[in-house]
């Protein structure tokens, strides 16, 4: 059964870090997005728009995945990790019980285009030790089919005409997956999906056609249940992130950089951060 389109959201202009302009889709309590919590897109050709970056800030109870299309980002954190990715690379971080990190543009980045995605952690994993991993573009799985090309960061992907593609990042929980799909003009592609998983697509370039309607840049498409998703590129083709994941089905309580299951856990996270326990 092919998946149908259930909802469409447009990313909203916002700022984060030291005043960096972003486009955001927040789905903390949005049915159909679980376990994906949020997508931020940063895109500018002008260094002054992003040069101040994202100075040190805390997280608890969630995971981040940063994926860069253009430009470079440097990550540093309270666990002693430091990593740098450039065009096409990705960075993964699980905040677990608490971490402080910064993300700053490389000095030679005259323009940036990238995404940061937040994924939830099940309650049983929220207080585990933090983790971090760099994934340079050479490590990502890539393939091309008739009228499309795809880069898999995480998860297994089955597009018609190409062998199963498996992204190298296995740490995302629970069974979450990210792929970057490029479609030629008027090209069709069908993706196999598992019934019961959340499936969505964020359009960042061009336009995607679905059921004879067009959806353009900065729109998030949420799909209903089924075992296949069929997409078509618009007149100028399309670039889109496709996300999948098995819903956690737990209560989400969100306050700034903390994502927990209750208000009491949020208050504890604030106390722990203020007392310096996140830097341990």
Give the integer Cα–Cα distance in Å for 44 and 278. Answer: 32
pLDDT of amino acid 155: 96
For the record, the structure tokens of 10 come out as 């447009």
Do 131 and 173 touch, CB atoms closer than 8 A? no
pLDDT digit of tens for each residue in the chain (280 aa)?
899 999 999 999 999 998 999 999 999 988 899 999 999 999 988 888 888 999 999 999 999 999 999 999 999 999 999 999 999 999 999 999 999 999 999 877 778 999 999 999 999 999 999 999 999 999 999 999 999 999 999 999 999 989 899 999 999 988 899 999 999 999 999 999 999 999 999 999 999 998 889 999 999 999 999 999 999 999 999 999 999 999 999 999 999 999 999 999 999 999 999 999 886 5
pLDDT of amino acid 280: 57
- 105 forms beta bridges with 73
Give the integer Cα–Cα distance in Å for 185 and 171. Answer: 34
Nearest residue to 239 (alpha-carbon basis) of 194, 179, 199: 179
Give the integer Cα–Cα distance in Å for 179 and 4. Answer: 20
pLDDT of amino acid 9: 94
pLDDT of amino acid 112: 92
pLDDT of amino acid 59: 97
State the CB neighbour count (10 A cutoff) for residue 116: 22
pLDDT of amino acid 278: 86
Domain annotation for the chain: domains and CATH numbers: 5-265 (2.60.120.10)
How do the residues of the chain divide into helix, strand and coil, expressed in percent and rounded to 5?
10, 55, 35
């Amino acid at each position: 059964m092919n998946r149908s389109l259930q909802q469409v959201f447009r990313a909203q202009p916002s700022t984060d870090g030291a005043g960096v302009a972003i486009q955001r889709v927040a789905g903390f309590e949005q049915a159909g997005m679980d376990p994906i919590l949020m997508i931020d897109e940063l895109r500018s050709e002008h260094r002054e728009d992003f040069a101040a970056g994202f100075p040190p800030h805390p997280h608890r109870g969630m995971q981040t995945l940063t994926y860069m299309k253009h430009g470079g980002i440097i990550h540093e954190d309270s666990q002693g990790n430091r990593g740098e990715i450039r065009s096409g690379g990705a960075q993964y971080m699980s905040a677990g019980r608490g971490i402080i990190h910064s993300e700053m543009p490389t000095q030679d980045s005259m323009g940036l285009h990238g995404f940061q995605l937040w994924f939830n952690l099940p309650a049983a994993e929220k207080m585990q030790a933090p983790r971090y991993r760099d994934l340079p573009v050479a490590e990502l799985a890539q393939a091309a089919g008739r009228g499309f090309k795809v880069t898999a960061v995480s998860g297994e992907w089955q597009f018609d005409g190409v062998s199963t593609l498996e992204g190298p990042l296995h740490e995302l929980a629970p069974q979450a997956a990210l792929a970057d799909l490029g479609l030629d003009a008027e090209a069709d592609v069908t993706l196999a999906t598992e019934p019961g998983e959340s499936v969505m697509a964020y359009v960042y370039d061009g336009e995607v056609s679905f059921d004879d309607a067009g959806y353009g840049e900065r729109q998030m498409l949420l799909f209903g249940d089924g075992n296949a998703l069929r997409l078509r590129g618009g007149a100028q083709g399309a670039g889109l992130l496709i996300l999948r994941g098995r819903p956690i089905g737990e209560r989400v309580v969100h306050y700034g950089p903390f994502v927990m299951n209750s208000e009491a856990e949020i208050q504890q996270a604030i106390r722990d951060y203020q007392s310096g326990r996140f830097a341990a």
